[in-house]
Amino acid sequence: MPSSLLRACAALLSFAAAGAQAGGFAPTGDMVWPRTVHTATLMNDGRVLIAGGNRPSEERPGGAHVAPIVRAPSALAEIYDPATGLFGATGGLVVPRFDHAAAALADGRVLVVGGYGNDETQSNGELFDPATGVFTAIKSGEIVGGERSTATVLTDGRVLVIGGFRQGPRNTAQLFDPATNTFAQTGTLNVGRYVHTATRLLDGRVLVVGGLGGNAVRSDAEIYDPAAGTFTLLPATMSVTRERHAAALLPDGRVLIAGGYTVGEQLTSAELWNPATGTFAPAANTMAVPRVDYHMRTLGNGKVLLIGSQRFDLTASTAELFDPATNAFSSIAPGPATERGSGEATVLADGRVLLSGGSDLLDPKGGRVLFGELYTPEVVDSIFVDGFEL
């Protein structure tokens, strides 16, 4: 029996045996191709579209650990099916790219925008149709996104594309309208930025935090108001500058911001932004390890999963949970099978979390991770699924 099928069967049996109260990590199928800095987007049918990324030295299936290549964008795409626990190939991107952004549309399609490919920054978009398995380029005169821009779905179904790097940090933003398949300019950022976060709030506005811009790591934040189409710089700032951090919306409307990189230091600290006061406050404790270029995902039980890092000095894999009730972090033991650098984490419709791709930071050679993993929360609940931080 193929190893991918064995992993998938083990994952499904583990999930069934665990029940609604158990939690932890379990293997699932092997990816078709290993990759890093890709996107993994939950589609409306419950499957996950995995697109692009930095490819290994040989574009062929097989080999869990393949030496990385710097700036080698891939057009390859595949789909993970939670019903079977298996990955399968699908049609490729029009433009190979990594460090791009993706967003699921209400009509079932997936928007992919920006990134780096074909030896240059990509400021364009394409659409994936799950009915046909085909990507189609979006014809637009707009310069859209760049490397490490963000794509945030608004309450009306449009997608807000913010910032990114293209010959410097961009201060522009565009709205993609699925009804017309077009981009249009919207408000201008007060500070051009990339490697920031953009989180949709409960009231529909978008909180933009940190990143790189103005020749500095940023501690400031701004709010995008879809009704006015404008960005407003907030008076309050974070306690420290952050880029390549992560952010997650909490059920009570606050936003957790944690980790990232400041000048000369990877961060363990975290803070909470409160929409009622417009201010940042420190969390009750810090993360167990510094985390940069990682993911936070809000779970159905209201807690937040923290997964991945860029730490090459670890001797064991790590994962943590943040509890909004106590404003504190706690470690998950045992952790995932390996520490994934620049991988992806996707909340599934049933509340589990799919881990895909990344570099194996516990491997001295730093090879790509081929196998997928599933995290089952203590309580599986699909009522509150993270779709706000993309």
pLDDT digits (tens, 9 = 90+) for 133-147: 999 999 987 788 999
**pLDDT at site 379:** 61
- Average pLDDT on 189-198 reads 98
CATH number of 3-376: 2.120.10.80
Share of the chain above pLDDT 70, in %: 87
* Strands 110-113 and 77-81, bridge-based pairing: unpaired
Whether the predicted pLDDT of 386 surpasses 70: no
Output phi, psi for 13, to 5 deg: -65, -40
**What digits encode the pLDDT tens for the residues 117-137?**
999 999 999 999 999 999 999
**What is the 8-class DSSP label of residue 130?**
T
Residue type, 83: A
Stated as kind and residue range, the H or E segment containing 4 is helix 3-18
In whole numbers, what is the pLDDT of the chain averaged over residues? Answer: 90
Residue 48 contacts residue 105 (beta carbons within 8 Å): no
Single pTM value for the model: 0.89
Give Cα 342 to chain centroid, integer Å: 9
Rounded to whole angstroms, the Cα distance separating 278 from 298 reads 21
Output phi, psi for 6, to 5 deg: -60, -45
Whether the predicted pLDDT of 42 surpasses 50: yes
**pLDDT at site 140:** 83
The sheet carrying 150-153 orders its strands as: 150-153, 159-162, 173-177, 182-185
Residue 123 contacts residue 143 (beta carbons within 8 Å): yes
The region of weakest confidence among 84-93, 177-186, 197-206, 381-390 is 381-390
What residues contact residue 131 under an 8 Å CB cut-off, 6+ apart? Answer: 108
Residue extents of the structural domains in the chain: 3-376
- Average pLDDT on 241-269 reads 98
pLDDT level of residue 238 (50, 70, 90 thresholds): very high
Q: Identify which of 176, 53, 33 has the alpha carbon closest to the alpha carbon of residue 117.
A: 53
**What digits encode the pLDDT tens for the residues 17-39?**
333 345 799 999 999 999 999 99
- Average pLDDT on 243-267 reads 98
**What is the 8-class DSSP label of residue 56?**
E
**pLDDT at site 63:** 43
Residue type, 153: V
pLDDT level of residue 166 (50, 70, 90 thresholds): very high
Q: Which residue has the higher pLDDT, 305 or 385?
A: 305
